[in-house]
Structure 1
Amino acid sequence: MKGNWTKHIKTVILVTIVLVILFVPAAKATLIQGLMEIGLFKPSIEDKKSELDADLSTIKFKDATGKVISLADLKGKVVFLNFWATWCPPCLAEMPSINMFYEQFKNDKDIVFLMIDADGDFPKAQAYMDRKNYKLPVYTFGSDIPKTLFKGSLPTTVVLDKQGRVSLNGEGAANYASSQFITFIKQLKDLKD
């Protein structure tokens, strides 16, 4: 009889763990973070660059104060765009690595960070950033975004080089504090205009 209870308790514990991972975003984010730390979920860095098929001046984002920034204004800079939401476990999982990456380059005038809250809920997004002690700049959509830049999957990260060409367009969580990604960003930064 005792052996039967042990089997049932183990099954209940396993089912409980699976349910927590499935239905608690923070638990799922923690699991994904652990997998990122062991080397899974690396950003896919491609050598080819592609021009956006949209006019950069039409792609705009706004911050909590209503200030609008256009991608056209950022030509000549490396732009790191991350589309995310507070309810998205993979987004939350990659946020510590993005914050580490940001802390390394936050004072570099040639690199711009735009964390795009897909929900447009500035108070909720800022509360998350404050709770985690992240200083990442939060924006939301200020115009329509072409599908070549953002198809709607969260998280999506796009890196534009100084000429406004897409150097990376990745969907899903990734470790943006990896040495490989930092080297990639430094190479983009060092390219002549």
Structure 2
Amino acid sequence: MKKLVTWSNALNVVVTVLIIVVLFNPQAKAFILQGLMKVGFFKPPVENTEQARPASLAPTLSLVDPEGKTINTADHKGRVIFINLWATWCPPCIAEMPSLNTMYLRYRDNPKVMIVTVDVDNDFNKSLLFLKRKGYQLPVYHLVGDIPQDLFTGSIPTTIIIDKTGAIAAQHQGAADYTDDRFYTYLDGLIAN
């Protein structure tokens, strides 16, 4: 008679349950992605800041904060603007949030940098509750109107970096670890130029 419960069968059940949990639970998927970030996957875009800047100027974006104050990116020419589009239900967005918060804390007092996180669901109650529950200090905004398709194709997270001249310096779709030293060197180079 064949044994029904073997180590192999038990291991198969455990692996199957883990796969199901990761597939259907955004927090579990985010946890796995965070682990992959820590071992070196999901590097942010880093280009040589000594090269000529791209010629394409970023379109002006109008954003509103939870208090109803509207800002326009064009009014902040002369600053490096880091924009991250995200949602509370997006596992890659959740995975990169700790690194975004760390980066924000590093640069928040630097008047030459503006870090903007944009909740694409336009639900301040949900996004503010999420940030508070996680202990993040990131500022959150909503878009006023639609974002141009050349900046955002609908994939989140999407990060757009606008240099001091108003040109698009970098654009990245997908999660990234923004605490990477090479990224800090890149961002510092944009700030210094």
TM-score range, shorter chain: over 0.9
Deviation at 1:147, TM superposition (A): 1.4
Larger displacement relative to structure 2 (61-70 or 77-86): 61-70
Return closer, same or farther for 1:19/1:49 CA change in 2, 3 Å cut-off. Answer: farther
Secondary structure of 2:172 counterpart = strand
Aligned residues: 189
Decide whether the 8 Å contact of 1:61 with 1:140 is kept in 2.
yes
What is the TM-score of this pair, normalised by structure 2? 0.93
For 1:32, give the aligned amino acid: L
User: What residue number does 2:33 align with?
Assistant: 32
Deviation of 1:117 (Å): 0.2
Q: Aligned pair in 2 of structure 1 residues 143, 54: CA closer, same or farther (>3 Å)?
A: farther
Match of 1:155 among 150, 157, 160: 157
In structure 2, C-alpha distance between the alignment counterparts of 1:12 and 1:108, rounded to whole Å:
51
Instruction: Give distance in 2, aligned partners of 1:160 and 1:185.
Output: 11
Q: Deviations over 1:34-70 (max 9, x none)?
A: 00000000012234633446642xx211111221110
The gaps in structure 1 that reach 5 residues or longer are: none
Report the 3-state secondary structure (helix = DSSP H, G, I; strand = E; otherwise coil) of the residue aligned with 1:152.
coil
1:17 Cα offset (Å): 0.3
Q: Partner amino acid for 1:85?
A: A
SS in 2 for 1:139: strand
2:99 maps to a residue whose letter is: S
The alignment's TM-score, normalised by the length of structure 1, stands at 0.93
Distance 1:119 1:13 in 2: 35
CA deviation map 1:5-45 (0-9, x unaligned): 43322111110000111110000000000000000000122
Tell me, in whole angstroms, the C-alpha distance in 2 between the residues paired with 1:87 and 1:117. Answer: 11
Q: Which moved more, 1:41-50 or 1:83-92?
A: 41-50
- State the match for 2:67 in structure 1: 65
Deviation at 1:120, TM superposition (A): 0.5
Post-superposition Cα deviations, 1:152-175, rounded to whole Å, max 9, x if no partner, equal: 110000111001111110000000
Q: Is the 8 A contact 2:58 2:162 kept in 1?
A: no
Whether 1:12 aligns to 2:13 is: yes
Q: Percent identity?
A: 41
**Helix, strand or coil at the partner of 2:117:** strand
Q: Which moved more, 1:38-47 or 1:125-134?
A: 38-47
The secondary structure found in structure 2 opposite 1:31 is helix
Q: Structure 2 vs 1, CA of residues 42 and 54 (structure 1 numbering), >3 Å: closer, same or farther?
A: closer
- Secondary structure of 1:50's aligned partner: coil
What is the CA-CA distance between 1:4 and the residue it aligns to?
4.4
SS of structure 2 residue aligned to 1:94: helix
The RMSD of aligned alpha carbons is 1.5
Describe the shift of the 1:4–1:36 C-alpha distance in structure 2 as closer, same or farther (beyond 3 A): same
Gaps in structure 2 of 5+ consecutive residues: none
Q: Distance in 1 between matches of 2:55 and 2:172?
A: 16
Tell me the residue number matched to 1:132. Answer: 134
- 2:22 corresponds to: 21
